[in-house]
Amino acid sequence: LYALVGLPGGNVVISRSNFHGNQGDGLRLISNGGGKTTTLSNVWSEDNEGFTVDISSKGPVIWTNGSSARSHMGTNIRNNDTATYTPHPVTISNVDFYETWDNNGLTIYSYGNVSLTSVGAWQNAGIGVFIDNCGLAHGGRHWLEMTQDGGPDAVSFAFVSIIRGGDDVWTMGMHV
């Protein structure tokens, strides 16, 4: 299933669904819903050539009960809205991520809270579960301010804390 939801509108709900044996991705969802929720409930995606599940959302993402297995690319969830830097949560419970041949089992990029409950990850070529919820995710807006002035501090974002004061943005830590 490839779903492109481009207009700000309602929530996306996918339930009691299976995505198996596809030449490309099992499920790819691009939602520009502006804070609307993407919900997967009892969703299984296995034996696909691309991503088992690939979600780009500008709102909360919830996945309850299911699996992502035996694919080349695993599962990707991005709800880090770079236009507004609004934090939206990712909540996953009772979902297993296993046997990804060329990538992580589960990769999450989020500005909001990430909650994993009863999640399993095993036999993946990369990391079982990779979560980017720090550094650039929380300080991205401030990091962009540093890149706009052309100063050298912008390259240090991966190694330091980004601090925002009343009148200035700076980094603290190891600089490169």
* Rounded Cα–Cα distance for residues 152 and 171 (Å): 11
**69: closest CA among 26, 108, 107?**
26
Q: What is the pLDDT of residues 154-165, one digit of tens each?
A: 554 444 455 555
Q: Look at strands 169-173 and 160-164 and give their pairing.
A: antiparallel
Q: Which range, of 12-16, 118-122, 142-146, averages the lowest pLDDT?
A: 142-146
* Rounded Cα–Cα distance for residues 174 and 94 (Å): 39
- The mean per-residue pLDDT over the stretch 142-168 comes to 53
Greatest Cα pair distance, the chain, in angstroms, is: 54
Q: What is the pLDDT of residues 14-46, one digit of tens each?
A: 999 999 999 999 999 887 667 789 999 999 999
